[in-house]
Amino acid sequence: MRGYCPDCREYRNRGDAWGIKKSKFGATCGRCGAILDVIEVV
Which position has the higher pLDDT, 29 or 14? 29
Cα dihedral 42, 9, 36, 24 sign: positive
Q: What pLDDT does 42 receive?
A: 65
DSSP 22: E
Q: Whole-angstrom Cα distance, residue 15 to residue 24?
A: 21
Q: For 11-26, write each residue's pLDDT tens digit.
A: 998 877 888 888 888 8
Q: Whole-angstrom Cα distance, residue 13 to residue 19?
A: 6
Q: Whole-angstrom Cα distance, residue 7 to residue 28?
A: 11
* Portion of the chain with pLDDT greater than 70, in percent: 95
